[in-house]
Amino acid sequence: MKTYALEMMLATLMVTCGLTLVWQGDTFAMAHYGMMRHYIDERPGGGFLMLIGIVRWYAIIRNGGSGYRPLLRIGGCCIGCGFWLTLAITVEATLLLATKTLTGPPLLLAVAGTAAIFEIYAATKGAADANREDSLGLRAARSKVGRNGSC
């Protein structure tokens, strides 16, 4: 599977979620965001999400030819996965605390959970690109030939 389109979709989701939080109004006013409200403010959190999404756009569009962009992609996947997992779990936990019974999973759990899984998958492909471009410099450090420039 070509993951660039997948990563672009996930990055765009982060940007649109960030935009939604930054937009006028109180998104976290809804009851099932009760737990999220304790840990994240809407405007700074939304701005942070948008920034990460835009950095991911840049890393994906300008991929190739430079070592550090796969590392940016992997970092974006880490933050994205953490965000989606937080969204999925805290919403479910809030509902459980409020109702004391599992009345049925919310759709957000399915969407955010799936996004978290695909972030993990995208990270493996980002790491494969990092290996191909030697982003960590491990191959150059190990290779005596590379250091001496004799080949």
Partner 1 sequence: MGAAEWAPLLGVLLTCIAAIFGYRQSERHRERELANEIAAARRPTLNVIGGAIASQEGTKLYVEEFQRLIHAIDRLTAAFSVSAEAQTAGSERWRKTVDELERIRRAMEDVASAAERIRREERAEREGH
Residues forming contacts to partner 1 in the complex (CB under 8 A) are 35-36, 38-39, 74, 77-79, 81-86, 88-90, 93, 116, 119-121, 123-128, 130-132, 142-145, 150-151
Q: Please report how close the Cβ of residue 30 comes to partner 1 at its closest, in angstroms.
A: 16
Can you give the length of the chain in residues? 151
Nearest to partner 1 of 24, 106 (CB atom): 106
Nearest to partner 1 of 21, 77 (CB atom): 77
> Counting beta carbons within 10 angstroms of the beta carbon of residue 58, is it exposed (0 to 12), middle (13 to 18) or buried (19 or more)?
middle
Write the CA distances from 20 to 9, 50, 65, 84, integer angstroms. 16, 10, 34, 15
Amino acid present at 96: L
Give, in degrees to the nearest 5, the angle at Cα 46 between 121 and 89: 50
Q: Please report how close the Cβ of residue 89 comes to partner 1 at its closest, in angstroms.
A: 4
Cβ-based neighbour number of residue 42 at 10 Å:
20
Q: Please report how close the Cβ of residue 43 comes to partner 1 at its closest, in angstroms.
A: 18
**What token pair was written down for 6?**
């997948």
Nearest to partner 1 of 43, 132 (CB atom): 132
Would you give the distance in Å from CA 4 to the centre of its chain?
14
Q: Please report how close the Cβ of residue 141 comes to partner 1 at its closest, in angstroms.
A: 9
Q: Please check whether residue 46 is in contact with residue 24, taking contact to mean a CB–CB distance below 8 angstroms.
A: no
Nearest to partner 1 of 24, 55 (CB atom): 55
Q: Please report how close the Cβ of residue 82 comes to partner 1 at its closest, in angstroms.
A: 3
Nearest to partner 1 of 15, 84 (CB atom): 84
